[in-house]
Chain A
Amino acid sequence: SQQGEEDPQALSIQEGENATMNCSYKTSINNLQWYRQNSGRGLVHLILIRSNEREKHSGRLRVTLDTSKKSSSLLITASRAADTASYFCATEETSGSRLTFGEGTQLTVNP
């Protein structure tokens, strides 16, 4: 069964706008990760945030984690058409263990 839920399920924006995706989960975690997937291909790791961290940046990506609310958000700034993909959050309960994925957000960036 899926650990969490992502919202929205689908998001359509114009190039240059910011995109925000949210993820909720149910259990205690060691870390939360965000992945990107293009057209049903393999998953590309974007960013990992540890349970004792609240915010992390990587290029145009900003991730927040609120363990009290069991939620995370991924912000992509200044979006590009090439950012069009599905984005998944995944939690890891202990280091090196299984990843539990959400259902994903389909992001479409219109040129």
Chain B
Amino acid sequence: ETGVTQSPTHLIKTRGQQVTLRCSSQSGHNTVSWYQQALGQGPQFIFQYYREEENGRGNFPPRFSGLQFPNYSSELNVNALELDDSALYLCASSLVAGGQETQYFGPGTRLLVL
């Protein structure tokens, strides 16, 4: 519906492992943001990438990192997984052009850390 896709849809990892989540933005969108949503809570901002550079970061440790590529795809990497990293991870893309930019969300990746 929004033109933003995420993969995989579900993922199970064990504590200490590393994970890479992927997002494909709408064509032409130069900004991607990642959010973590724990069960029963609102999404929390992890970081944002604008034209392949990090452009703002929330209160998350450095083991959360990201990449944005020129082909409108992006990645969220999490190292040394902890149990509390279990959540729905959402990416959102937008075209930042000086106006009121709407962020379009993907369906999310649900990560379970055991």
Contact = CB atoms under 8 A, between A and B. Distances in A.
A103 B43 CA distance: 8
Chain B interface mostly helix, strand, loop or mixed? loop
A30 B41 CA distance: 23
Given A1-B59, A42-B90, A98 B98 contact: no
Size band of the interface chain B makes with A? 35 or more
Given A2-B42, A95-B98, A42 B107 contact: yes
A98 B58 contact: yes
Chain A CB within 10 Å, residue with most, of B33, B44, B100: B100
B66 interface: no
A4 to B, nearest CB: 9
Interface of B: 1-2, 4, 31, 33, 35, 37, 39, 41-45, 48, 50, 56, 58-59, 88, 90, 92, 94, 96, 98-108, 110
